[in-house]
Amino acid sequence: MLLILNKNADNKEISIIKGKINKLGLEVNEIKELNYHILGLIGDVSKLDPGIFEAYKAIDKVIFVQEPYKKANRLLHPNNTEIKVNNEIIGGNKINIIAGPCSVENQKQILSIADDVKKYGAKFLRGGAFKPRTSPYSFQGLKLEGLELLKLAKQYTGLPIVTELTSLDFLDEYVDSVDIIQVGARNMQNYEMLKQLGKINKPILLKRGPSSTVEELLMSAEYILLGGNENVILCERGIRTFESYTRNTLDLSAIPVIKKLSHLPVIVDPSHATGRWWMVEPMALASIAAGADGLIIEVHNDPENALCDGNQSIKPDKLKQLMEKLKLIAKAVGRDI
Amino acid sequence: MLLILNKNADNKEISIIKGKINKLGLEVNEIKELNYHILGLIGDVSKLDPGIFEAYKAIDKVIFVQEPYKKANRLLHPNNTEIKVNNEIIGGNKINIIAGPCSVENQKQILSIADDVKKYGAKFLRGGAFKPRTSPYSFQGLKLEGLELLKLAKQYTGLPIVTELTSLDFLDEYVDSVDIIQVGARNMQNYEMLKQLGKINKPILLKRGPSSTVEELLMSAEYILLGGNENVILCERGIRTFESYTRNTLDLSAIPVIKKLSHLPVIVDPSHATGRWWMVEPMALASIAAGADGLIIEVHNDPENALCDGNQSIKPDKLKQLMEKLKLIAKAVGRDI
Amino acid sequence: MLLILNKNADNKEISIIKGKINKLGLEVNEIKELNYHILGLIGDVSKLDPGIFEAYKAIDKVIFVQEPYKKANRLLHPNNTEIKVNNEIIGGNKINIIAGPCSVENQKQILSIADDVKKYGAKFLRGGAFKPRTSPYSFQGLKLEGLELLKLAKQYTGLPIVTELTSLDFLDEYVDSVDIIQVGARNMQNYEMLKQLGKINKPILLKRGPSSTVEELLMSAEYILLGGNENVILCERGIRTFESYTRNTLDLSAIPVIKKLSHLPVIVDPSHATGRWWMVEPMALASIAAGADGLIIEVHNDPENALCDGNQSIKPDKLKQLMEKLKLIAKAVGRDI
Amino acid sequence: MLLILNKNADNKEISIIKGKINKLGLEVNEIKELNYHILGLIGDVSKLDPGIFEAYKAIDKVIFVQEPYKKANRLLHPNNTEIKVNNEIIGGNKINIIAGPCSVENQKQILSIADDVKKYGAKFLRGGAFKPRTSPYSFQGLKLEGLELLKLAKQYTGLPIVTELTSLDFLDEYVDSVDIIQVGARNMQNYEMLKQLGKINKPILLKRGPSSTVEELLMSAEYILLGGNENVILCERGIRTFESYTRNTLDLSAIPVIKKLSHLPVIVDPSHATGRWWMVEPMALASIAAGADGLIIEVHNDPENALCDGNQSIKPDKLKQLMEKLKLIAKAVGRDI
């Protein structure tokens, strides 16, 4: 950590800052030249609160030489993390497809979709039981009944299930029944939830918040990793920008950035990112070309009558076509599907 | 609600859509001209899920003639909501100042700051007990011990206390002890929390999420109001933009917009919005000039050694000066302080 | 065009608005129901100024049933526009690669790079002669001397040249020498320039401004098309968001959106979008997977000593590798390269 | 300037970088500790191209200890710049109001509005002659005829005139007739224009681009200042964000930031920022409370029939009321109007 001092910093102020550094068990390397005056901190700064020096008027800027995350950092963990879920591995050479409806609506719907997505090559079933919705007047999910239906679909198809946790009240049921617990974009910085998820031993699918930087996503992953749960899968699902044609702006650059900075697997949700079913295919293909480890895609057998997000759901036959194209793209980038 | 049909929509598709409208207990007004073909819905659409028609390929756009929030809407509630907390009213003619440290650090600190902010005219004491932090390595607050210290400060000064709830696990303690329960920006769309807060009878300070529109803020307020708790105070605290000099971009235009669309009181947090202590004064003055009902300001007796957000905290003597200027601005816009 | 009236609109106001509509030679279709009151315009509204009704207090919203662009609209021009430049076609089945240095620096540099990019499969040479730079202290390009060097490179290699026009003062020279005239992102809404470019018969490469929506990009294209020049190639090069790790956020969703809304070809600039050389490859692959018609890529033989944007330039041997991978991706989406 | 080296940087790479530094006539201060390895540059780096070191793989970050602008920097020019235009001073203690229609429409309109705004206290008349419009189908201004009408209005009222230059073709006419030449937001980074404006001796009103940071605004001012024209007035007019209720998001935090970083005067355009006439008053008051030196406000005698931006124009009687309130706010912050 480097403290760039203000040109007008006086000796008394600097001496107070040096005192604080020493109290933290660190040493100071002072560098003073015509154009700059710096205090470099020597010692283990890895767990220093980043804001700790920002209030001094004598300090112009605080420069972090190292990233603020440790456990999620590729520097300290050069190999890709591979996460085993039942018989599948996420983060290895094989691309994984998670597919299913936005929300579980009834037994017939979820069993039928589960059958279809399995038939066309998805290895995981997604489906919302508890649905966080912008409007209190929108369908809020079947809740625990939805969870039961997901379990039934798993029993019938063998597909591991992925569903979002919206309240810690149901953590136990999720740990018992769910194969990958999803943290939704709106809860990416719900730190109480992240801390609890760090204490369990289930894979967590952590979605990037629509206004979160990649660094913040990694800091949220750090909360889970630090708690002891190393099974974190990141998910890019679009960020909020001024462009209003799409629901969000899918930030595919985040894929190579995450791959460089971290060892964690990363998948893409083209359905929520775009909000339009006809954009799912091109964005799914682009995601794999950009290096993503998988996709989570909304599939519905009757989008016009879906209780949630029908506009961004593709029909099963569209998934079939997409899978054919994804195979070609995966091969082009040296991967299987 | 108006459904603008696609030019190529065929009769069969249109007939299916009309059937769905009728099944919802609504009637259809069909308007077909050279340049447009519209299905207008007749009947009570106020509780219709906004997404319900978006998946039809025959439909180009869904137009909402009315805002999606009802309880928060000024149309249905023309007078300003005034919220009584102890002896103060928020949302009336009088401007209210909430002040105090980012986080409660120890007894001496909170009592000293509480004394100071009371002396200079603040009517409420803020202070973080549970602190949501981007980094797991940052100070996370004194938690319940912090809450006890806030209660002590209230006992000594008589100032009602405002503090953030980060987990429903402590809701009972908050209902017992806290005068205004704050929902932080990161939890603005934590709907499980909002639903629970709708069931209690405490004033809620709902902060706008950094990537939330004003409409979404009002929809989150709607969750609380719909539950039966009508004491919601909104708070603008900056939105996320590309400008990186400030921590966030304070969106003061949101003040007149909220005042037009809703009857709820709205205050501003210039400390979190700017992230820099020397910007608190001009932005506080501008907020009141723009029509805000109050301010929530971070004040610390020793910002350089604050355990959190020292960079954006002003010292008590600065608060004193600010209060003098605020009085002049309040008077200029016809209000008291 | 639909005018959604305010609930409180009185008859006098409405009658004034109807009068205005009639004066424009249009008829009115009035629709009044319990929940809405609408004036629908009947007649040719295609050239109506969009803002013309927005100031009436009686009008809540103005809804455009049709897109505001005509010439650029796929509805009126269903087939893809293919632009012939020398022996190449942009917008057809074949993917085109434009490559070269950010700025032309000297004869040896540009000839060497031109040779290399040709050898590895680029069909066009890019190179900046006039360089718009954020800082007046940065290298501003060799200007006309740079243009001469580009012509020389074309003479040696046969590659058509693409370079940015920054001032209409040099339009004649550009028309004489340049094969595709680039309008930079910062000039996307320099309408005086667009109008002049509409009068010539050269292909124009129109880059999307970093804060422009796709619709605004199409409106800028409309300026050129309306002038009579139908050879417009659009270019996505990243938009400005809060994410600061990358120079801009590449909006690949814009590719399918543009393909749906317009018949114009669209290419991607992964170099400017990301600002980092190691991200050029994954983003180039993703662009073609998403349906782009080509790429414009910065290539430099000595990035460390480049006078401009070395950080985002790849070396020629990296281009060679990239071309191999691009071939596989192009094939996967049914295209050639 | 500090070059933070990569942990894995090898001696050969570092030696090449040092060589480059020396070739630039600068010396190197090398600092190597456990946690960081830095090359500090010693000497005059003020005119170094910021990108010059970014392409080296051995370099992780380039830190600018000093701001990249010199002429616009308050450090080198501590006193406020005051710009004299006829008998008025912009940037002194007195707040200046510029008012008038979006575009000049005809003689009667401009003379009537000019009369009104003068009567109510505006000291400058604004009015568009050449209008940059998103749509080629929108009214493009009366052009030179509009300029003549502005001159006539000046002759009648004595008010200095402010109007936007959209093409250098008319620079001579503007230098002859216009008192303050406006550079529109879309041309903020039209560097060819800025360079020419640096060579004249007229005050320039430089509007912030909707996606430009404050630093970029100051860099654009630097182009003009470096050319020798020191009469630059900055203008905040809203930035582009995801919030779509307002036309742009007025960034009032930019006022204290600009005042800290630069000596140049700064005014605010609440009309373009909000796009809604009823928000002009609260945002105008807030602007002055935040420390702005003036306002530029759209005023129209018949907004419903304005040829441009009627929705954001206030009527003359509304300006009268606003001026009364502005006087109170100005007084509250120790200024006159």
Chain B: residue whose CA lies nearest to D333:
B325
* Cβ(D229)–Cβ(D204) below 8 Å: yes
Helix axes A214-227, A254-261, angle to 10 degrees: 40
Rounded to whole angstroms, the Cα distance separating A53 from D89 reads 41
Other beta carbons less than 10 A from residue D235's beta carbon: 25
Per the prediction, chain B carries an average pLDDT of 94
Q: What is the pLDDT along chain A (337 residues), one digit of tens a residue?
A: 889 998 888 999 999 999 999 999 999 988 888 778 999 888 888 777 767 888 898 998 888 888 889 999 998 899 999 999 999 999 999 999 999 999 999 999 999 999 999 999 999 999 999 999 999 988 899 999 999 999 999 999 999 999 999 999 999 999 999 999 999 999 999 999 999 999 999 999 999 999 999 999 999 999 999 999 999 999 999 999 999 999 999 999 999 999 999 999 999 999 999 999 999 999 999 999 999 999 999 999 999 888 888 899 999 999 999 999 999 999 999 999 9
Question: What is the 8-class DSSP label of residue D56?
Answer: -
Instruction: pLDDT band for B257, please (50, 70, 90 cuts).
Output: very high
Residues of B near D (Cβ–Cβ under 8 Å) read 211, 213-215, 239, 241-246, 249-257, 260, 273-274, 278-279, 282-283, 285-291, 325, 328-329, 331-333
> Residue A15: CB partners within 8 Å, gap ≥ 6?
none
Rounded to whole angstroms, the Cα distance separating B266 from B80 reads 11
Closest CA to A214 of A176, A173, A259, A158: A259
Half-sphere exposure of A101 (CA within 13 A, CB side): 34
Instruction: pLDDT band for C309, please (50, 70, 90 cuts).
Output: confident
> Per-residue pLDDT averaged across C303-330, rounded?
94
| pLDDT for the residue D36 | 85
Residue type, B199: K
Rounded to whole angstroms, the Cα distance separating A246 from A277 reads 11
* Cα dihedral A216, A218, A221, A227 sign: negative
Q: Which of A4, A65, A241 is closest, CB to CB, to D36?
A: A65
Rounded to whole angstroms, the Cα distance separating C150 from C125 reads 8
| pLDDT for the residue B64 | 83
Q: What is the pLDDT along chain D (337 residues), one digit of tens a residue?
A: 889 998 888 999 999 999 999 999 999 988 888 778 999 888 888 777 767 888 898 998 888 888 889 999 998 899 999 999 999 999 999 999 999 999 999 999 999 999 999 999 999 999 999 999 999 988 899 999 999 999 999 999 999 999 999 999 999 999 999 999 999 999 999 999 999 999 999 999 999 999 999 999 999 999 999 999 999 999 999 999 999 999 999 999 999 999 999 999 999 999 999 999 999 999 999 999 999 999 999 999 999 888 888 899 999 999 999 999 999 999 999 999 9
- Mutation site for C-interface testing, chosen from A236, A249, A253 by largest number of C Cβ within 10 Å: A253
Chain D: residue whose CA lies nearest to B215:
D245
CA distances from A217 to A222, B108, D68 (A): 9, 36, 31
Nearest CA to CA, how far is C285 from chain A (Å)?
6
Q: Which of B223-232, C220-229, D162-171, D307-316 has the lowest mean pLDDT?
A: D307-316
Residue C298, beta-bridge partner list? C100
Model confidence pLDDT, tens digit, residues D96-136 = 999 999 999 999 999 999 999 999 999 999 999 999 999 99
Q: Which residues of B touch D216 (CB under 8 A)?
A: none
Q: Most confidently modeled of B61-70, B114-123, D299-308?
A: B114-123
User: What is the DSSP secondary-structure string of D151-205?
Assistant: HHHHHHH---EEEE---GGGHHHHHHH-SEEEEPGGGTT-HHHHHHHTTS-S-EE
Q: Which residues of B touch A240 (CB under 8 A)?
A: 211, 240
Model confidence pLDDT, tens digit, residues C104-158 = 999 999 999 999 999 999 999 999 999 999 999 888 999 999 999 999 999 999 9
Residue B314, beta-bridge partner list? B299
pLDDT more than 90, % of chain C: 82
| pLDDT for the residue B50 | 67
Residue C232 has pLDDT above 70, yes or no: yes
Q: Note whether D61 contacts A66, CB cutoff 8 Å.
A: no
Q: Which residues of A touch C333 (CB under 8 A)?
A: 285, 325, 328-329
Cα-based torsion angle of the residue sequence D11, D17, D18, D23 in order, rounded to the nearest 10 degrees: 150
More confident residue, C270 or A308: C270
Nearest CA to CA, how far is A95 from chain D (Å)?
30
> Per-residue pLDDT averaged across C10-39, rounded?
90
Nearest CA to CA, how far is A223 from chain B (Å)?
6
Instruction: Walk me through the domains of chain B, giving residue ranges and CATH numbers.
Output: 2-63 (3.30.70.1140), 74-332 (3.20.20.70)
Chain C: residue whose CA lies nearest to D300:
C55
Q: Which chains form contacts with chain D, at 3 or more CB pairs under 8 Å?
A: A, B, C
Residue C183, beta-bridge partner list? C206
| pLDDT for the residue D197 | 98
How many whole angstroms from its chain centre is CA A58?
Answer: 38
Residues of A near C (Cβ–Cβ under 8 Å) read 211, 213-215, 239, 241-246, 249-257, 260, 273-274, 278-279, 282-283, 285-291, 325, 328-329, 331-333
Q: Which of A190, A223, A309 is closest, CB to CB, to B51?
A: A309
| pLDDT for the residue D50 | 67
Rounded to whole angstroms, the Cα distance separating A220 from B312 reads 23
- Mutation site for B-interface testing, chosen from C7, C27, C32, C35 by largest number of B Cβ within 10 Å: C35
The 10 Å CB-count burial string (b at 16+, else e) for D82-103 is ebebeebebbbebbbbbbbbbb
Q: Which residues of B touch A49 (CB under 8 A)?
A: 135, 137-139, 307
